Amino acid sequence: MISMGQFDKATSILDIGTGYGFMLQFLAEHFSSVLLLSIDVSYTNLKAVRGRLRIFGINYNVHLVVADALNSPFGNDQFDAVESWAGQGNIVRFCNVFRQAHRMLKDNGWFVTDVGGRFERADRDTRTLIESVGLEFFERTLRKLGLLPAKEEAIDAMKKYGFHDVSSERVDSMSIVSGRK
C-alpha cells in the first residue's frame, strides 16, 4: 500500500475511515515529517486513536477530524496521497469515497485502498456473526450496502471518478487498488 500510494513522495496524506488508527499510527511512525490528517465518523474511535498516539509518543503532524468520508470537509487539491485501509466493510457505499478522494487529491496524487479478503482475519464477533447467518448471506448483505465492493467494481469506480493508472496487486487474501489523479 505504501509503495502503490507513493507515500514516500508525499508531504500530506489523508487517512479516510481511521477506525482504531492502526494505519495512521504506522504512517505517523514511518513518515514523521509528513502532514497526516484523518477522518472518521466516530468521535469515540478518534478519541481512542488520540490515546493510542499519545501512548506511542506521536504528537506531531497528526490531525484527527470527525467527518463523513462521503462528505469530507476538506477542500479540493489538498493532499498528495489519500488512503483508506479497511474502509471497505465500514463505509456504506464505499466506492463513492473515490469521488471525494479524487476531489481532495492534488494533480498526480495517489489514492490507495484495500478490497476483499476480510473474513479470514475477521474479529471474533464478526466470525460469530458469519457462523450464525452464513457466509453467503453475510457477503450478499455487505455487497448490497456497498460495504464490500469486488476488486473489479472498485477499479471501475476509480476510473469513473477520473483516476488514471489504476492498478491492483494481490497481497495475501486481499487486493490493494490504487489510482492517480
Contact 26, 52 (CB under 8 A): no
Predicted confidence at residue 118, as pLDDT, reads 61
For residue 121, pLDDT over 70 is answered with no
Instruction: Give me the percent of the chain exceeding a pLDDT of 90.
Output: 62
* Per-residue confidence (pLDDT) for residue 107, from 0 to 100: 96
In the chain, % of residues over pLDDT 70: 97
Ordered domains of the chain (ranges, CATH): 7-117+147-180 (3.40.50.150)
Say if residue 5's pLDDT is above 90. no
Per-residue confidence (pLDDT) for residue 59, from 0 to 100: 81
User: What are the pLDDT digits (tens) for 17-73?
Assistant: 999 899 999 999 999 899 999 999 999 999 999 999 999 999 888 999 999 999 999
Integer Cα distance of 18 and 162 in angstroms: 24
- Asked if residue 92 has pLDDT above 70, the reply is yes
What would the mean pLDDT of 75-81 be, rounded to a whole number?
A: 96
Lowest mean pLDDT among 65-69, 81-85, 120-124: 120-124
Residue 99, pLDDT above cutoff 90 = yes
